[in-house]
Amino acid sequence: ASLFAQVEMAPRDPILGLNEQFNADTNPNKVNLGVGVYTDEQGKLPLLKCVAAAEKQLLEAPKARGYLPIDGIAAYDKAVQSLVFGADHAAVKGGRIATAQAIGGTGGLKLGADFLKRLNPDAQVLISDPSWENHRALFESAGFTVGTYPYYDAAAKGINVDGMLSTLKAAPAGTIVLLHACCHNPTGYDLTEAQWNEVIAITKERGLVPFLDMAYQGFGNGIAEDGAVVIKFLDAGLSFFVSTSFSKSFSLYGERVGALSIVSETADESARVLSQLKRVIRTNYSNPPTHGAQVVATVLTTPALRQLWEEELAQMRDRIKLMRTALVDNLKAAGITQDLGFITRQKGMFSYSGLNAAQMQRLRSEFGIYGVDSGRICVAALNDGNIKAVSQAIAKVSQ
């Protein structure tokens, strides 16, 4: 028999599979609300001006490409740490945080998972129900058993906070709890400040291991506002993990720019942690690529470019908010009478629309509107040119 005779066909990735289906659709009015990508008012993926300017600067003084250090560009790691934790925070100044460049937010999560597997192989992992599809797969592929804590409350159009907290209270010490720092994917519902305080108190009391996934910093309420959750964990004196992604906030999806930060109790501990983290990196891909991190480091550390980035990020955030309000108005105009307040309460790129799988399939087959069967739609892909048609189609399948 041939070597690969036993190899079975793997199921298609649910979201990337949807993309393939979208690309093959010949409907001229098709709209892709499936994948989590921000497109501008013209429906185009933006190249941020701050990114183009940084690239121009880099091209004007081209450099040879040697291997980077295992943990990436030092100036990048420092800039990320300042952005995520604040340059002046005692934990940063005291050398208690190890930050390593990673291959996107996904890479940061995988490094953290591999590190944790070596540290505490029998730990349980809890992710939100529902969560980004890849969370479960990533931690399972690192060898963990992955369970869930309640999150989405369909009837309340919000979060099942009591369910979440009581599950965390019952979790054994050492349980790794994956938390979305802001702009929860897929639901769009974020915890309030008071609810975060409760999560932190339980985490401390129970000895849980928080792992914050920050893939949308700046898409919720602002860079500092969204980052406040991380500072809360820091101020609580916890040891924890943060994965950072710049895919969305710099519109650098294809460059794979991210990071993993690990907060320890002492600088000495942090040095040992970093040394082990480097081993994880070394045996996965040796060291990370140059270009994307160089661009992000240049933008973050050049005041004029930094300001431009903050403005461009604010434009993306504001346009998404505008589309949420416009979606509510257009749905009402199309005849929907139910309370739509949840759409503007949600944060970030996504809206859990409340539509069921059959309705989402009808949107695809009858109208060429592609969302995820869970009811998740990408609000960041709406624009003045498609929002009316999308709203009318949603009203039709809702009848």
> Does the protein bind ligand PLP through residue 245 (CB under 6 A)?
yes
Catalytic residue among 132, 157, 190, 347: 132
Give 96 or 180: the residue with its C-beta nearer to ligand PLP. Answer: 180
> Does the protein bind ligand PLP through residue 264 (CB under 6 A)?
no
Residue 109 sits at φ, ψ, to 5 deg, of -65, -40
Contacting ligand PLP (CB under 6 A), which of 32, 106, 251, 290?
106
The CB-nearest residue to ligand PLP is: 104
Shortest distance in whole angstroms from residue 285 CB to ligand PLP: 14
Restricted to residues 30-89, the positions that interact with ligand PLP (CB under 6 A) are 36
Shortest distance in whole angstroms from residue 104 CB to ligand PLP: 3
Tokens of 124: 């349980």
Give the binding-site size for ligand PLP (rule: CB under 6 A): 12
Rounded CA gap, 20 and 373, in Å? 15
Catalytic residue among 114, 213, 226, 309: 213
> Does the protein bind ligand PLP through residue 213 (CB under 6 A)?
yes
Write the CB contacts of 342 (distance below 8 Å, at least 6 apart in sequence): 157, 158, 354
Contacting ligand PLP (CB under 6 A), which of 72, 104, 368, 371?
104
Residue 237: name the closest of 210, 274, 260 by CA.
210
> Does the protein bind ligand PLP through residue 190 (CB under 6 A)?
no
Rounded CA gap, 74 and 77, in Å? 5
> Does the protein bind ligand PLP through residue 132 (CB under 6 A)?
yes
Binding mask 374-393 for ligand PLP (x = CB under 6 A): --------------------
Rounded CA gap, 112 and 239, in Å? 13
Binding mask 335-374 for ligand PLP (x = CB under 6 A): ----------------------------------------
Choose one: 16-24, 103-111, 287-295, 312-320; the region binding ligand PLP (CB under 6 A).
103-111
Q: What is the 3-state secondary structure (H, E, C) of 12-58?
A: CCHHHHHHHHHHHCCCCCCEECCCCCCCCCCCCCCCCHHHHHHHHHH
Rounded CA gap, 257 and 252, in Å? 7
248 labelled catalytic: yes
Catalytic residue among 77, 248, 309, 347: 248
3-state secondary structure of 150: strand
Torsion angle defined by CA atoms of residues 339, 340, 344 and 347, in that order, rounded to the nearest 10 degrees: 110
Rounded CA gap, 38 and 320, in Å? 9
3-state secondary structure of 261: strand
Contacting ligand PLP (CB under 6 A), which of 81, 175, 185, 383?
185
Residue 190: name the closest of 238, 134, 227, 151 by CA.
151
Choose one: 46-54, 93-101, 104-112, 357-365; the region binding ligand PLP (CB under 6 A).
104-112
Shortest distance in whole angstroms from residue 129 CB to ligand PLP: 14
Angle, to 10 degrees, between the axis of helix 291-301 and the axis of helix 303-333? 100
Tokens of 98: 């190890």
Contacting ligand PLP (CB under 6 A), which of 130, 258, 288, 368?
258
- Confirm if 246 and 252 have CB atoms less than 8 A apart: yes
Give 114 or 270: the residue with its C-beta nearer to ligand PLP. Answer: 114
157 labelled catalytic: no
309 labelled catalytic: no
Tokens of 263: 């907060």
- Confirm if 260 and 84 have CB atoms less than 8 A apart: no
> Does the protein bind ligand PLP through residue 105 (CB under 6 A)?
yes
What is the binding site for ligand PLP (CB under 6 A)? 36, 104-106, 132, 180, 185, 213, 215, 245, 247, 258
Active site residues: 132, 213, 248
